[in-house]
Amino acid sequence: MVVPLADGVRLHYLAWPAGVGAGSATRPVVLVHGLTRTAWTWLPVGRRLAAAGIAVAAPDLRGHGASDAPLDGYDLESLALDVLTVAAGAGWGAAVDGPAVVLAGHGLGALIAVEAVHAQPGSIAGLVLLDGGWEEAFEATQLLPDQLVEAMAEPPEVLASMDAYLSDRRDFDPHTWDADQERAARAQVTERHAGHVRPVTKGSVIRRCVSAMYDYRPLEALSAIACPVSLLVAGKGTADDEDERERRLAIDDVQGARARAGREPMAVTILADASHDLMRYRPDVVAGEIARLAGT
């Protein structure tokens, strides 16, 4: 599916229609992927939500996947408006007098989802943040923006061929590698005539998105949100691990800011021994929490 914007930019999105058993109270869901990823990373979750009777849309952010890659529009506000436009194209949100959606975002997508609530609060009924959205970028990475961009670069041997690239992705966790994961991995690169591959997301897009990430201020952003917020956290270490302790303290800071603003606390789930890509490692939990906010 494709939604054209007023400036001519075309945004691609995947859609899962609601399966049998959809209830009138069930809200639609929009899924927002992370930096350098695509809508295909949501396959395991989208399939589960559709089977539960929930209509789902998952856009490719501009500069990612099959969407256009214009020179500008990579600030959080512009990216959030893109997501809201995709929702409107599906008939959802205040702009088209449609139902409010549950918005789920992963990594960078979590920041965009938060910004979408600020831009159009009447369009969002609930927010699910997957391993992102509650920390400042520097505090989370201890890297400057240029250092983070450099750290994200793929080694030449990984990009030597499609087989090498897929093997690298599979070896992260062979037990969770399946056809969905291969489809998602293939969508992130293009194969060149010489056999090597290169990322679909251009370096200039990555730099602009990273810059937007470093401008994000979670305490102010999340304390201003009135709708229910659920946070799913990859528990990469034990509670007494220093990095893990800092991440949990950052959650406490946001909870405190929300309390001072008179907001309900976020629902927080720590997923032990899970890595960042929760859609891959914990699809049942992710889909279940999104479905809970959607009303099933």
Which domain covers residue 59, as residue numbers? 2-142+209-294
Residue 188 has a pLDDT of 96
Q: Report which of 103, 69, 105, 64 is spatially closest to residue 87, judged by C-alpha positions.
A: 103
Residue 273 has a pLDDT of 87
SS3 state of residue 126: strand
Residue 17 has a pLDDT of 86
SS3 state of residue 241: coil
Give the domain CATH number at 288. 3.40.50.1820
Report how far residue 270's alpha carbon sits from residue 116's, in angstroms, rounded to the nearest whole number.
24
What are the structure tokens assigned to 24, written together? 């009138």
Find the length of the chain.
296
For residue 197, being part of any structural domain is answered with no
Residue 150 has a pLDDT of 96
For residue 55, being part of any structural domain is answered with yes
Residue 293 has a pLDDT of 96
Q: Largest Cα–Cα distance of the chain, in whole Å?
A: 58
Report how far residue 93's alpha carbon sits from residue 103's, in angstroms, rounded to the nearest whole number.
11
Q: Is 124 within 8 Å of 103 (Cβ atoms)?
A: yes
For residue 165, being part of any structural domain is answered with no
Report how far residue 126's alpha carbon sits from residue 14's, in angstroms, rounded to the nearest whole number.
20
For residue 171, being part of any structural domain is answered with no
pLDDT tens series, the chain, 296 aa: 899 998 899 999 999 987 655 555 689 999 999 999 999 999 999 999 999 999 999 999 999 999 999 999 999 999 999 999 999 999 999 999 999 999 999 999 999 999 999 999 999 999 999 999 999 999 999 999 999 999 999 999 999 999 999 999 999 899 999 999 999 999 999 998 788 999 999 999 999 999 999 999 999 999 999 999 999 999 876 656 788 888 999 999 999 999 999 999 999 999 988 999 999 999 999 999 999 999 97
For residue 195, being part of any structural domain is answered with no
Taking the CA atoms of residue 290, residue 51, residue 276 and residue 63 in that order, the dihedral angle to the nearest 10 degrees is -90
Q: Is 99 within 8 Å of 24 (Cβ atoms)?
A: no
Per-residue burial over 256-287, b = 16 or more CB atoms within 10 Å of its CB, e = otherwise: ebbeeeebeebebbebeebbebbbbbbbeebb
What are the structure tokens assigned to 6, written together? 């007023």
For residue 255, being part of any structural domain is answered with yes
User: How many domains, in total, are found in the chain?
Assistant: 1
For residue 163, being part of any structural domain is answered with no
Report how far residue 89's alpha carbon sits from residue 96's, in angstroms, rounded to the nearest whole number.
9
DSSP category for residue 72:
S
